[in-house]
Structure 1
Amino acid sequence: MNDIFVFSMLPWASKLLHRSHMLSKYFAKNGMNVYHVEKVNSFNPLKLGRYELDRGQVSVLKIYGLPYFKGVSKWVFRANDRFINSALKAFLENENILKASAVLSTPHWSFSAGRVENFKNGIFYDISDDYIAFAGNAKWKRLLSEYEKHAVEISVKVFATALPLLGKTGGKGILIENGVDLDSFETAEKIEFETEGKVIGFIGGLYSWIDYELVLKVAKANKGDLIVLVGPTDSKDEMDRLSSLENVLYLGPVDKNEIQDYYASFDIGIIPFLPESEYPRLKTVNSNKVYQYLYFGYPVVSTRFKQVEKLRDTILVSDSHEQFLANIEVAKKEAGECGVDLESISW
């Protein structure tokens, strides 16, 4: 059996669903022996550089290291490289794994994994976001740039979820967009929300890319409908303002093993992102929610960003708040028809 190590962005037990989870499930489904590798933050010197293994259909390899502290110290990155590399070598030796593949889901893993000789079947870097754009300070950006450059150098191929990200791949790039987890979505059970109107919903991170003023306008313009918001947030004031409205239900983050039930329960899916001019990172986004909404066949109303432009025959794309509100009225009158072959973009 082929051994493959998926170096993750989020823990396997995280409520949030990330592409690295999907990759691990897909590889296991196709008969591979999968290790989902995650870093566990610790300050205990007796744990740093050690590992724990939870065996399963997808085995979870937990390696103890220091928090990255948002890139304020190069020393922390270098120390984690040593801790992770040491734990990987010990694990591979103990399990007698001589030949394996590795998929890096973030740049952070590149030096620790790149110095392991056992990844003879190849290292592959999977770029699902512009991680450098995430960095909040110049030192952090420089460190991530160094690590991402190295990730590309050591990779046989580099996978990218969006066309603009292919520019980071050094000529090694292959476009592999996100998709739907059909195994989970086929078993979805609809939740009956208490409303006599439509259920207008959003699932995803409620962070700085959300146009909160637009969501507020949607709620106020559709008082007979229920606005359901699902996902983590760091915008407490904005969410408190929205939650004060009688027709807004904020549920917070939902476990990734139950999320399909919430997708199945909407009448209209919305994507209220800021314009790309205000949030340029949207140019590199390939959002799973686009396909997950479409899977259930209801209308989808979105602001304009690069990913949805090619789906404008299927999605009601809006260039202004006024058009977004008008498109919701259109969506209320029509049944959604998915114009995308979801089988071709499923895991």
Structure 2
Amino acid sequence: MVDQESMTDKASKYKFPPGALVGNTYDLFFFSIVDFSYLRQRPQQLAYHFAKRGHRVFYLSISQFLPADSGEDFEIKEIKKNIYEVFLKSPSFLRVYEDYIDSKVLEILYRSLNGLRKKWGLITTVSLVHNPFWSPLVYRMREEHGWKIIYDCMDEWDTFKGVGRPFLDQENILVRNADLVLVTAGLLYEKWSKQARRCILVRNACDYEHFARISPNTLLADVRKPIIGFFGGIAEWVDIDLIRYAARRRTDWSFVLLGEVFTDVSALKKMDNVHLLGRWPYEEMPSYLFHFDVCIIPFKKNKVTEAADPVKLYEFLSSGKPIVARDLNEIRQYEDLLYLFDTEEGFVQRIEKALNEKDARIREKRRHTAASNTWDDRIDRIDHEIQEIYKKASIVIANVSREGLEEKLRQKDISLEEQQRELARLYAIEKGLFWKMAKKLMDLTNQCIFPPDTRRGRLAFRIVNRIKRNPYKLNKKKERREKHSC
């Protein structure tokens, strides 16, 4: 399905990074809600900026899968340095907004992903989840291999068309079980913060340098001025009737809308001063933005938009141009930089006022605000939280008895699973007594769940699994060795 060099060759060329507990380096596996090639949204921006910092980012395709009887466990293609799109096996097409993952599908997905984990050396790995559909697979990876779980909640999903009950049920469970929950809006924080282990607000942002460097071009040279512009997905939350009203009231204005259409826009297609230009590459957006006299965010007011933090707001701010936006909860925090409206006539009046803006200082304030809200800033915050997760799970406790160690761990605000993993890691690394450690580990956890991120840890991992398979045989071997040494 994907043209690639053999996985063995690819993996052998790559120098696997050290584990996070050793070198503060970790990989990320994105269980996303859209394919990587679909627009440039928050998931893609996070992927790009983590990759720029040297982290390997594996991004799961949600629309293409290998057949279950494929000879390969997975396929992978390099999108750019440190970013890889992953195609797993599945017995059928997965409806990731509507269904659950059943046990049969889960087993196939797990074996496929575990094959990638082994070949590409994913040791210390963070599962960054945008779609709760993947929760069963994410839990399995944490249970078996210690992958941390971050749920990045971008929207109020329960009112989205096409989102089924399974999706929402999984989200409720995921919020309670994730190591960390990120939310993009204040209302989402209010909704989830009391249920999550830890929940932090990490709003959307912009690639400031990309949008601030707008330069003259002729892309919209044939469109009459002034140009009232918008780019982004044209879906059910965009108020088509509002745009139609304004275009009728002011036929001397040109309305330019760029983006893929997901709703009925037939009323706009009939209007001479409305230009629906479709979807264009992210790289070309600044060139179109250059021609906008006023930027607009013509959203409806509902549960979805009140909990939305539009990426395009920060991108528009980067240009310094005037912005007319619906008065919504998340947008209101920047009201001194915007022209907010609540009614159709208010929309027209605010555009008129924006067109007459003369104050150069407010344009500079917009640019400054955008420059203070970049994706690099957001990565700083998320990276800090990830480091805290690993610090929490690797408390340095030495020279204490098993009982004392357990008591100290109970005093810490960490889960039972993390206590078990910490005990396993300490026995493996600090004691170095692999047979004794393995027996104690079996008593404590009944399974080996710690990440094998050190030489001793890897050895202990293998021993525990051998004991699980045949403890009697291995103990007999040990007895024979001890007898022979005597």
TM-score (norm 2): 0.64
Percent identity among equivalent residues?
23
57-66 or 243-252, which moves further after superposition? 57-66
8 Å Cα contact 1:160-1:175 kept in structure 2: yes
Alignment of 1:1-347 (within 5 A): 1=17, 2-14=26-38, 16-41=39-64, 44-47=67-70, 50-55=73-78, 56-57=80-81, 58-65=83-90, 66-68=93-95, 71=98, 74=100, 80-117=105-142, 120=146, 122-134=148-160, 136=162, 140-141=164-165, 143-166=166-189, 167-169=191-193, 170-171=195-196, 172-192=198-218, 193=220, 194-236=222-264, 239-275=265-301, 279-335=302-358, 337=363, 338-339=365-366, 341-347=369-375
2:481 is matched with none
8 Å Cα contact 1:41-1:64 kept in structure 2: no
Change (3 A) 1:41 1:79: farther
| Cα distance between partner residues in 1 of 2:121 and 2:252 | 62
Q: CA deviation at 1:223?
A: 2.0
Q: Secondary structure of 1:35's partner?
A: strand
- Count of residue correspondences: 336
| Cα distance between partner residues in 1 of 2:30 and 2:145 | 12
| Cα distance between partner residues in 2 of 1:127 and 1:240 | 33
| Cα distance between partner residues in 2 of 1:247 and 1:191 | 21
| Cα distance between partner residues in 2 of 1:215 and 1:146 | 36
Q: CA deviation at 1:344?
A: 2.4
- Bigger helix share: 2
Change (3 A) 1:49 1:80: farther
| Cα distance between partner residues in 2 of 1:48 and 1:302 | 53
Change (3 A) 1:178 1:257: same
8 Å Cα contact 2:231-2:312 kept in structure 1: yes
* Equivalent position amino acid for 1:124 in 2: I
8 Å Cα contact 1:161-1:176 kept in structure 2: yes
| Cα distance between partner residues in 2 of 1:211 and 1:247 | 17
| Cα distance between partner residues in 2 of 1:4 and 1:112 | 15
Change (3 A) 1:120 1:343: farther
8 Å Cα contact 1:9-1:18 kept in structure 2: no
Q: Secondary structure of 1:228's partner?
A: strand
8 Å Cα contact 2:35-2:61 kept in structure 1: yes
Instruction: Give the superposed CA RMSD.
Output: 2.5
Change (3 A) 1:186 1:304: closer
Q: Which runs of 5+ in 2 are unaligned?
A: 1-16, 18-25, 376-486
Q: CA deviation at 1:242?
A: 0.9
Change (3 A) 1:31 1:221: same
**1:272-293: CA deviations, max 9, x gaps?**
1122xxx221121011011111
8 Å Cα contact 2:58-2:86 kept in structure 1: yes
- Bigger strand share: 1
Q: CA deviation at 1:136?
A: 4.4
TM-score (norm 1): 0.88
8 Å Cα contact 2:300-2:326 kept in structure 1: yes
8 Å Cα contact 1:125-1:155 kept in structure 2: yes
195-204 or 35-44, which moves further after superposition? 35-44
Change (3 A) 1:323 1:125: same
* Equivalent position amino acid for 1:342 in 2: A
Q: Which runs of 5+ in 1 are unaligned?
A: none
Q: CA deviation at 1:19?
A: 0.8
Change (3 A) 1:69 1:290: closer
Which of the two has higher C-alpha Rg?
2
Moved over 4 A (4+): 42-45, 47-50, 76-80, 186-191
Change (3 A) 1:47 1:289: farther
Change (3 A) 1:87 1:96: same
245-254 or 336-345, which moves further after superposition? 336-345
* Equivalent position amino acid for 1:265 in 2: H
8 Å Cα contact 1:41-1:67 kept in structure 2: no
| Cα distance between partner residues in 2 of 1:227 and 1:131 | 30
| Cα distance between partner residues in 1 of 2:313 and 2:356 | 20
8 Å Cα contact 2:76-2:85 kept in structure 1: yes
8 Å Cα contact 1:111-1:150 kept in structure 2: no
| Cα distance between partner residues in 2 of 1:77 and 1:207 | 31
Q: CA deviation at 1:48?
A: 11
